[in-house]
Structure 1
Amino acid sequence: MSTEEKNPIIKIYMLGRFALEYDGEIILEDEGKIHKVWSLLGYLLANHSRKLGSQELPELLCADERSGDPAKVVKNLAYRLRCLLSDSGLPKETYIVQSGGSYSWNERLNYTIDTDEFLASYKRARQGGIDEQTAIDCYLQAISIYQGKFLPHAVYDQWAAHSTTYYHRLFTDSIISLYRLLEKKETYELMLPVCEKAIGIDAYDEDIYRIYIHCLTKMGRHKEALLSYETITNRLYDEMGVNPSGELRSLYREIMKTLKSVETDLIIIKEDLNEGGQAECCYFCEYQIFKDIYRFIARRVNRTGESIFIMLCTLTDKEDEIPSKKYLAEAMESLKVSIGKTLRKGDLFSRYSHSQFVVMLPDISYENGYMVGKRIQAAYKKNKVSKVVTMHYKLQPLDPKHF
């Protein structure tokens, strides 16, 4: 591409949005309205270094149409694209070059594309022989250029899917590689805004959350680390129906180990342990904590013979399948409230999966435990979502024989 300064550079953005900037002003931006015209422009720019043959564009742009003359359809789209560019306020130039039946972007124009700049910074960071600080700077540059996934309005276009995956994989790899370099220097604070940006783009990437939580922990910001852990696990439960990975759960245990500083005053420790007299309902906890309490109680039951029951509350649709995402989050929140209002202070419960809660009922008989389940059901049915999502429960005694 030309670097002559006859006119200001046309800056083309394809990561996070699709827009053309000229002389400091956004001249054109894809708003998802004339999809085929923008799709043609996107494909030309994504392949700006080559000519697109007479068969390639018709197959791309006319795959979902029953046209007797695909070449004519492409010609019409190219004409509409030229009109769009001509009327936009960009300099009067030839933007689309046609030669026979092929089309291409005019490489003689004075322009830049963020995808090219992103790749250049990424490749420079991974180039052999450069020092670590230069690699860090290049990774930071690549990360700053990446503003989101490739051509967001083309997310369902098959031709764009590969590039979307490719650029996002390099973005994630840039963050992981940057983290490894900064970890050596123990400069964890530089990673926080990087991870926050990545989470804003993809809120379900466990690798990024793991780096973010680890950095917060290393900086002594344990409560923020714990909050971030709860955020990602809730998202995985509610919206993807999966449990956090073993690595993420291990990180959670590390947070809990380091959350408390050394304290020698037993009175202060006791004040920290109690709930300040505010415990007015049952105890809700993260599943890892529930497991630890269960194992402790099981050891005691083995000696005392107490009657303790475990209840599993499950949500299903009318076909006894996992409810759709449309209703599941609201139904789980309703069930959580119903359980919390029904149980006693000495009971505890936890979220077991994206559609289940597990409950521990100490000092109770099977008959009374069964009635507790009935009361939870009755409380849950007061919510309108219960008409499409049904609550079931099972009850079994705690079995200490393996402890």
Structure 2
Amino acid sequence: MPQEPESAETVCDEQTKEIEDRLLELYVKALYLYKGEFLAAYTGETWIAQEARRYHTMFEKIINEAAYILRKRKQFKGLEKLGVYAAKVDPFNEWEELIMEAMVETRRYEEAEELYTDVVDYYLRECGIYPSSKLLGILEKYSNQMNHAHEILENIQEGMNEQEETERGGYFCSYPVFRGIYQASIRIMKRTRVPVYLMLCTLEDEEDRQVQSETKINKYSRQLKKCVGESIRYSDIYTSYGKVQFLIMLIGLKREDCEIVKKRINRQFAKKNPRAAEKYHVNSIVCEL
């Protein structure tokens, strides 16, 4: 028996798929030709700067077109690979949202949560900036889409508890977690009137300037983190804010107690680094009793 002719809709779908296949293949080849900013060391030259902008605009357009096709086809592994490459060759332009989307769509929720934290810390640590509200909004949107399996309360609580007894001293957490605790503390303290102080600890050299040497920054930052953790109480919270700063939340202290904490951190740090100095700034978050 003769086969029935394919419908016009089926033929159209197949043609569209073939066109998209070819486009995606060309997009991917083009993307891997882009290795970063064009002649980055010479962007002071007008023509070089113009070409760099043109190439970057082309790169952005191709990324978005390729992402559209991959998203449409639910090819999320390809989307994640796309985001990883884009973030590598074009850092601090928020391509991490593609990776986050792929992880959420493939139900890798724990990895997605880790990525959210890592992205914020990376922007602060490497560039000294906080990700834009647009990127955070996108990341939080995907966070809200995460579906956890139904559990009884005891199991949920066990999963949230610290896995093992930590060393004595303050609780260190990533900046997004610290930010959430800070916002919750504001609400709680408005009702309880328990004083909370926010301390900013900044690494500076002996001439009150920001430390420039990467070697010294890495060394001092590790040591200062340890000194801060050992100098505050078990219930206090701290986080790194960029490469050379730490934020500390001190709960239920008096203002004069903050001075004691400052001296305690400074004394420990000075023993290890007599040539370095930290600068502190203390603010009351909500109230002083």
The interval holding the TM-score normalised by the smaller chain is: 0.7 to 0.9
Within-5 A mapping of 1:37-186: 131-144=19-32, 146=33, 148-149=35-36, 155-156=41-42, 158=45, 162-186=50-74
C-alpha deviation, 1:241, in angstroms = 2.0
Name the SS for the 2:95 alignment partner: helix
Name the SS for the 2:249 alignment partner: strand
2:109 paired residue among 201, 206, 222: 222
Does the CA contact (< 8 Å) of 1:150 and 1:163 recur in 2?
no
C-alpha deviation, 1:211, in angstroms = 1.6
4+ runs of 1 displaced by more than 6 Å?
none
CA change 1:229–1:299 in 2 (3 A) is closer
1:378 and 2:267 aligned: yes
1:323 counterpart letter in structure 2: V
2:152 counterpart letter in structure 1: D
1:276 match: 163
| Percent identity of equivalent pairs | 24
Q: Distance in 1 between matches of 2:275 and 2:148?
A: 48
CA change 1:143–1:324 in 2 (3 A) is same
Does the CA contact (< 8 Å) of 1:239 and 1:325 recur in 2?
no
1:361 and 2:247 aligned: no
Question: Structure 1 or 2: larger helix share?
Answer: 2
C-alpha deviation, 1:380, in angstroms = 2.5
1:290 counterpart letter in structure 2: F
1:188 and 2:76 aligned: yes
Deviations 1:212-259 (A, max 9, x none): 222222222233233334444333323322221112222443454455
Deviations 1:127-170 (A, max 9, x none): xxx943332222122224x1624887x84484655545543442
C-alpha deviation, 1:272, in angstroms = 1.0
Q: Which runs of 5+ in 1 are unaligned?
A: 1-129
C-alpha deviation, 1:395, in angstroms = 2.6
C-alpha deviation, 1:391, in angstroms = 0.8
Q: Distance in 1 between matches of 2:259 and 2:114?
A: 35
1:376 counterpart letter in structure 2: I
Q: Distance in 2 between matches of 1:394 and 1:265?
A: 44
CA change 1:383–1:242 in 2 (3 A) is farther
Q: Distance in 2 between matches of 1:348 and 1:225?
A: 24
RMSD value over aligned CA atoms?
3.1
Name the SS for the 2:94 alignment partner: helix
Of 369-378 and 273-282, deviating more is 273-282
Number of matched residues?
A: 267
Q: Distance in 2 between matches of 1:381 and 1:251?
A: 43
1:331 counterpart letter in structure 2: Y
1:311 counterpart letter in structure 2: M
1:103 match: none
Larger radius of gyration: 1
**Bigger RCO (CA 8 Å, 6+ sep):** 2
2:125 match: 238
CA change 1:276–1:288 in 2 (3 A) is closer
Q: Distance in 2 between matches of 1:330 and 1:233?
A: 22
Q: Distance in 2 between matches of 1:256 and 1:160?
A: 40
C-alpha deviation, 1:393, in angstroms = 1.4
CA change 1:293–1:230 in 2 (3 A) is closer
1:264 match: 151
Does the CA contact (< 8 Å) of 2:171 and 2:235 recur in 1?
yes
1:336 and 2:219 aligned: no
Q: Distance in 1 between matches of 2:187 and 2:41?
A: 54
Q: Distance in 2 between matches of 1:259 and 1:378?
A: 45
Does the CA contact (< 8 Å) of 2:195 and 2:253 recur in 1?
yes
Q: Distance in 1 between matches of 2:141 and 2:287?
A: 28
Deviations 1:175-197 (A, max 9, x none): 22211222222222112223333
1:250 paired residue among 112, 115, 137: 137
Does the CA contact (< 8 Å) of 2:197 and 2:285 recur in 1?
yes
Q: Distance in 2 between matches of 1:283 and 1:255?
A: 27
Does the CA contact (< 8 Å) of 1:284 and 1:349 recur in 2?
yes
Deviations 1:4-48 (A, max 9, x none): xxxxxxxxxxxxxxxxxxxxxxxxxxxxxxxxxxxxxxxxxxxxx
CA change 1:394–1:182 in 2 (3 A) is same
1:301 and 2:153 aligned: no
Does the CA contact (< 8 Å) of 1:298 and 1:400 recur in 2?
no
Q: Distance in 2 between matches of 1:383 and 1:172?
A: 47
Q: Distance in 2 between matches of 1:330 and 1:173?
A: 41
Q: Which runs of 5+ in 2 are unaligned?
A: 1-17
2:13 match: none
1:218 counterpart letter in structure 2: E
CA change 1:155–1:304 in 2 (3 A) is closer
CA change 1:251–1:340 in 2 (3 A) is farther
2:140 counterpart letter in structure 1: R
CA change 1:302–1:193 in 2 (3 A) is closer
C-alpha deviation, 1:372, in angstroms = 1.1
